[in-house]
Amino acid sequence: MGHHCCSKQKVKRGLWSPEEDEKLIRHITTHGHSCWSSVPKLAGLQRCGKSCRLRWINYLRPDLKRGCFSEQEERTIIDVHRILGNRWAQIAKHLPGRTDNEVKNFWNSAIKKKLIAQGFDPNTHNLLSRNHHQNNKMKNSCKSKTSNYPNSTSVFTIETLSSSKEVGVISMDIIKASLAALPPIATTTTITLPQSQTSWDRPCKSSLTSTTYNYMNPISVPTTTNMENSNLATIEYQNQSTSNNLLSSSSSLSPSGFGIINENCMWDVTGFEPQLIGPSNGQEEMQLVQQEGAQLLQLQENICQEEVYKVNHEFNNNGQIAENVTFDNSNFDFEFVDSALMPCGIYTNVNSIDQLAWDC
DNA sequence: AACGAGCACAACCGCCTGTCG
DNA sequence: GCGACAGGCGGTTGTGCTCGT
């Protein structure tokens, strides 16, 4: 059974021949594709319009980047997927020259398996094997005083400690998530690592001696947004289930508090890119981590800005007054905001990472 | 050389949404 | 408001290649 647009006529299916490709390219480059349904007839192809469109978008478009995905692209896919989920078209927009189909195939054939192999749930980006254990632990003895999200899937227990700075089992994603959860006031964060630990994702329960690093919270750096106009929205995120928040029309966007979970620690053992961060090369590596964290934050901020802009743009076009716009009557993507702000379920009001310890 | 399993990727299917009459 | 249609998207399937036996 074919697609309804194809059922009316006899259409060829299956792989495209070079001759068909040539016909389609010649037609689109000379006439464009104002209406895909008319393209097959005009181009002399026995295909349906949808098939032509897919062939052009996924394979024949001149601006496509062919070949293997770069490591940077892989990371971008993972990072954006963490925020957006299986919205392949949206993810592909962050990868110039790549199509949603290509990204989807790459995810399913490569990244997904690597994440699973590393113990990550590719859907939630949380650890797989320890989920139940940690969830049970959360139920029984969670002392978190800050996380108030009932649907949190965090596998980490956060405790407020008055004096201890010890970091037990820790991975890069936890570090970044916690750093990103810091309020924008803090500019420098002190992280104490066991001396013996040279890799962030390598569990190390005992710490005889420790090394201290300073980590600049990239969120704390004031950034200016470059939206089309200054008529931006401020999100006062409280509780999505009972939200009755207002969009204000004249304040500036401040998506601070973005959480980051980063599976970059997986590269360490998958052979992609060893990231040894420790006393031997800590200074240099921490700079790289800072840069990477800042880039990731910028990426997440950009995505959030796009969502917020969509809301404003839509209402402005409709001639409505932004002050009267609420989340309830908007189509704002709460799920997106939730995932962007609390990707690992960590939501905290603590003043510095010194107050955090991870009970893993 | 023949065969089958596994894999990557191209293509299709079905659903959803927006537009238009 | 309703139906028809086109475009877009994500999930799934089909196809051809590679590699091991």
Q: What is the pLDDT of residue A35?
A: 87
Q: Which of A52-56, A245-249, A290-294, A333-337 has the least mean pLDDT?
A: A245-249
**Which pLDDT does position A68 carry in this prediction?**
86
Dig out the tokens for A8 from the structure: 């009316």
Give the position of tokens 């001639």.
Answer: A319
What per-residue confidence (pLDDT) applies to A5? 54
Q: Residue type at A68?
A: C
Residue A306 has pLDDT above 70, yes or no: no
**Positions of strand B less than 7 angstroms from a protein CB:** 7-15
Whose C1' is closest to the CA of A93: which nucleotide?
C9
A11-62 with A67-128: one CATH topology? yes
Cβ neighbours for A66, distance < 8 A, ≥ 6 positions apart: none
Footprint of strand B on the protein (CB under 7 A): A 1-3, 6, 12-16, 47, 50-51, 54-55, 58-59, 68, 101-102, 104-106, 108-110
pTM (predicted TM-score): 0.54
Distance in angstroms (rounded) separating the CA atoms of residues A46 and A10 = 7
CA of A9 to C1' of B5 (A): 38
The rounded distance, in Å, linking the Cα atoms of A233 and A253 is 6
Superfamily of chain region A67-128:
Homeodomain-like (1.10.10.60)
* pLDDT at A118 (0 to 100): 80
pLDDT over 90 percentage in chain A:
6
pLDDT of residue A272 exceeding 80: no
CATH superfamily of A11-62: Homeodomain-like (1.10.10.60)
Residue A26 has pLDDT above 80, yes or no: yes
Task: Give the DSSP H or E segment for A357.
Answer: strand A356-358
pLDDT value at residue A170: 31
- Which residue has its C-alpha nearest to nucleotide C6's C1'? A37
Residue A266 to residue A120: CA distance in whole angstroms: 9
Domain ranges of chain A: 11-62, 67-128
Instruction: Judge whether residue A267 has pLDDT over 80.
Output: no
